[in-house]
């Protein structure tokens, strides 16, 4: 929604908005763009001279502002529908879908197009180090809009009045399908329910479109088997595919029997796969693979994705957005492979899926690469986090500690961490401002 607000502002609209919790980096970029952001949903904050109210999918009935909009018969629309009608309908849309890696892959793809001089528009759910904000219309030298638009295509529902996945509105010509697992237990009953939405997305591509998909993921094979009317190109870390990734991050093109090597500042095989998918999507837009490799060499990563935010007394503090067990495991694996000391993982179980306990067994098995795991005993959890911690402590070498609050976590980190250790804080929210509080607490002269 922050990105939609930025795009509306860039198109010349006057924009302001409301959110339940306001925190950086999104709040900062909105402020920098001159967009007023109200904390909370007081109906008195609704402007009287609006053109339209764009309603995010976090809004439900009973929200004071939405109830006022309905009561006064004011015009409203979902973010994805507004986006298509005002931005995407005239563009070559390159969409990135999947359970994990959407933000990173979208950022990589947008940067490749930018590096190549195509000046794309983009809407991404995070802020890349290569761009100053999470969304832009994209401009050519003649001040016209670029024909290309990169978008992070989320499968979450559109709005309380439109329960289709958001990506149904985007009508891509180039589509990356990175992976697919069960998630969003608050709106999907099971994996087949999510697969149906992915197949609905495939049905919206033109015959001349291209689907770039991960052959390592059986769930995606099953989606494509439901029917596909566009060209397909596959990539993989081991299974048979058009492009396969080697252990040294070399990518083999099995059509031309050529290979190229991806060099990234970001660690982990999953980042190399993200980069491979981005390069293949860029090729569909006319960019040679070698140019994409040169661009990826200069890719700085994404804020809150394995982002080093401080190094104090030779102890690294890393911020990461991972909140699904698979993403947690992949991130911990990548960090552990580069670690010279111990790896401390501080994890907030914040998403609706995590709270409901649908993935509690996977949570336990995602922690193995960490030496120490610290979590808060969240009263909103519908499952026994202490039982999970006991299971991990008994069956693995990982130590899991459940704390009463973030202050206790900070206290233990300050007491136990030594030079060469790494601390990764994993959350898709503000996490009680633990990042800055920890940095402050670890300052040796304070």
Q: What is the secondary structure of 206-257 as a DSSP string? A: -TT-EEEEETT-HHHHHHHHT---SEEEEEESSSS-SEEE-TTSEEEETTTT
Cα–Cα nearest to 279, from 288, 270, 268, 269 = 288
Q: CA-CA distances (angstroms) from residue 47 to 17, 18, 53, 74?
A: 10, 11, 10, 11
Question: Do 52 and 77 meet the contact criterion of CB atoms below 8 Å apart?
Answer: yes
Q: What is the pLDDT of residue 28?
A: 85
SS3 8: helix
Q: What is the pLDDT of residue 182?
A: 87
Question: Do 234 and 214 meet the contact criterion of CB atoms below 8 Å apart?
Answer: yes
Q: The CATH number of the domain where 370 resides is what?
A: 3.90.190.20
- Compute the C-alpha angle 294/296/297, nearest 5°: 65
Question: Do 190 and 180 meet the contact criterion of CB atoms below 8 Å apart?
Answer: no
Residue pLDDT tens, the chain, 446 long: 989 999 999 999 999 999 987 777 778 888 889 999 898 999 999 988 878 999 999 999 999 999 999 999 999 999 999 999 999 999 999 999 999 889 999 999 999 999 999 999 999 988 888 998 899 999 877 767 889 999 999 999 999 999 999 999 999 999 999 999 988 878 899 999 999 999 999 999 999 999 999 999 999 999 999 999 999 999 999 878 999 988 777 888 888 888 888 888 887 888 899 999 999 999 999 999 999 999 999 998 888 888 899 999 999 999 988 778 888 998 899 899 888 999 999 999 887 777 777 788 888 899 999 999 999 988 888 888 899 999 999 999 999 999 999 999 999 999 999 999 999 999 887 888 999 999 999 987 65
Question: Do 150 and 19 meet the contact criterion of CB atoms below 8 Å apart?
Answer: no
- Whether 195 maps to a domain, the answer reads yes
Same-domain pairing of 149 and 266: yes
Q: The CATH number of the domain where 149 resides is what?
A: 3.40.1190.10
- Whether 222 maps to a domain, the answer reads yes
Q: Give me 134's structure tokens.
A: 């999470």
Same-domain pairing of 188 and 207: yes
Whole-angstrom distance, CA of residue 336 vs CA of residue 371: 9
- Dump strand ranges (E) for 79-215: 92-97, 121-123, 135-136, 148-152, 157-159, 162-165, 174-177, 210-214
Question: Do 56 and 125 meet the contact criterion of CB atoms below 8 Å apart?
Answer: no
Same-domain pairing of 75 and 97: no
Same-domain pairing of 253 and 329: no
Same-domain pairing of 50 and 22: yes
- Whether 394 maps to a domain, the answer reads yes
- Dump strand ranges (E) for 76-120: 76-78, 92-97
Same-domain pairing of 246 and 282: yes
Whole-angstrom distance, CA of residue 350 vs CA of residue 367: 16
- Whether 167 maps to a domain, the answer reads yes
Same-domain pairing of 192 and 95: yes
- Whether 158 maps to a domain, the answer reads yes
Q: What are phi and psi of 375, to 5 degrees?
A: -135, 155
- Whether 301 maps to a domain, the answer reads no
Query: SS3 helix, strand, coil % of the chain, rounded to 5?
Result: 35, 20, 40
Residues 297-307 as b or e (16 or more Cβ within 10 Å = b): eebebbbbbbb
Q: Give me 118's structure tokens.
A: 């195509």
Q: What is the pLDDT of residue 446?
A: 54
Same-domain pairing of 355 and 269: no
Tally the domains of the chain. Answer: 3
- Whether 33 maps to a domain, the answer reads yes
Residues 131-163 as b or e (16 or more Cβ within 10 Å = b): bebbbbbbeeeeeebbbbbbbbbbbebbbbebe
Cα–Cα nearest to 317, from 421, 397, 396 = 421
Whole-angstrom distance, CA of residue 18 vs CA of residue 36: 8
Same-domain pairing of 315 and 331: yes
Whole-angstrom distance, CA of residue 381 vs CA of residue 325: 16
Question: Do 126 and 70 meet the contact criterion of CB atoms below 8 Å apart?
Answer: no
* pLDDT digits 0-9 by tens, 186-230: 889 999 999 999 999 999 999 999 999 999 999 999 999 999 999
Question: Do 100 and 178 meet the contact criterion of CB atoms below 8 Å apart?
Answer: yes
- Compute the C-alpha angle 29/35/39, nearest 5°: 90
Q: Report the relative pairing of strands 76-78 and 16-19 from DSSP bridges.
A: unpaired
Q: What is the pLDDT of residue 25?
A: 72
Q: Which of 269, 296, 323 is the last residue of a domain?
A: 296
Q: Report the relative pairing of strands 148-152 and 399-403 from DSSP bridges.
A: unpaired
Same-domain pairing of 271 and 324: no
Cα–Cα nearest to 425, from 99, 340, 442 = 442
Q: What is the pLDDT of residue 445?
A: 65
- Whether 302 maps to a domain, the answer reads no
Q: What is the pLDDT of residue 383?
A: 86
Q: Which of 32, 53, 79 is the last residue of a domain?
A: 79
Range of the domain at 73: 2-79
Same-domain pairing of 399 and 374: yes
Same-domain pairing of 319 and 268: no
Whole-angstrom distance, CA of residue 320 vs CA of residue 23: 15
Q: What is the pLDDT of residue 26?
A: 76
Q: The CATH number of the domain where 54 resides is what?
A: 3.40.50.720
* pTM summary value: 0.84
Q: What are phi and psi of 414, to 5 degrees?
A: -60, -40
Q: Which of 79, 100, 115 is the last residue of a domain?
A: 79
Instruction: Rounding to the nearest 10 degrees, give the CA dihedral for residues 215, 216, 222, 226.
Output: -20
Residues 61-100 as b or e (16 or more Cβ within 10 Å = b): eebebbebbeeeeeebbbbbbbbbebbbeebbbbbbbbbb
């Amino acid at each position: 929604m922050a990105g939609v607000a930025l795009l509306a502002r860039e198109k010349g609209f006057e924009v302001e908005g409301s959110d339940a919790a306001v925190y950086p980096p999104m709040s900062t970029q909105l402020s920098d763009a001159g967009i007023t952001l109200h904390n909370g949903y007081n109906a008195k904050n609704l402007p009287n001279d609006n053109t339209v109210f764009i309603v995010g999918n976090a809004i439900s009935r009973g929200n004071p502002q939405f109830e006022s909009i309905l009561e006064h018969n004011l015009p409203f629309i979902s973010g994805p529908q507004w986006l298509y009608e005002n931005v995407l309908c005239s563009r070559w849309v390159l969409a990135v879908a999947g359970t994990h890696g959407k933000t990173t892959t979208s950022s990589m793809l947008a940067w490749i197009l930018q590096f190549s001089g195509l000046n794309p528009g983009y809407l991404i759910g995070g802020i890349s180090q290569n761009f100053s904000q999470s969304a832009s219309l994209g401009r050519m030298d003649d001040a016209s809009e670029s024909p290309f638009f990169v978008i992070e295509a989320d499968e979450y529902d559109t709005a309380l009045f439109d329960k289709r996945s958001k990506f149904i509105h985007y009508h891509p010509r180039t589509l990356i399908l990175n992976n697919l697992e069960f998630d969003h237990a608050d709106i999907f009953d099971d994996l087949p329910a999510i697969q149906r939405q992915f197949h609905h997305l495939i049905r919206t591509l033109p015959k001349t479109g291209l689907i770039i998909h991960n052959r390592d993921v059986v769930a995606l094979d099953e989606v494509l088997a439901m029917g596909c009317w566009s060209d397909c190109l596959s990539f993989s870390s081991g299974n048979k595919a058009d492009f396969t990734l080697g252990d040294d991050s070399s990518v083999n093109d099995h059509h031309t029997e050529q290979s190229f090597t991806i060099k990234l500042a970001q660690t982990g095989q999953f980042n190399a796969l993200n980069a491979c998918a981005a390069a293949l999507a860029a090729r569909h837009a006319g960019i040679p693979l070698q140019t994409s490799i040169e661009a990826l060499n200069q890719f700085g990563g994404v804020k809150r994705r394995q982002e080093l935010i401080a190094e104090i007394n030779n102890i690294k503090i890393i911020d990461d957005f991972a909140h699904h067990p698979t993403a947690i495991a992949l991130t911990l694996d990548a960090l552990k492979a580069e670690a010279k000391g111990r790896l401390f993982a501080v994890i907030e179980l914040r998403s609706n899926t995590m709270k409901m306990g649908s993935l509690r067994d996977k949570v336990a098995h995602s922690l193995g690469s960490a030496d120490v795991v610290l979590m808060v005993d969240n009263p909103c959890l519908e499952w026994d986090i202490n039982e999970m911690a006991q299971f991990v402590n008994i069956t693995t070498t990982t130590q899991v500690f459940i704390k009463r609050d973030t202050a206790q976590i900070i206290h233990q980190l300050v007491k136990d961490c030594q030079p060469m250790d790494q601390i990764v804080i994993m959350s898709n929210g503000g996490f009680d401002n633990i990042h800055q509080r920890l940095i402050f607490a670890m300052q040796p002269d304070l």
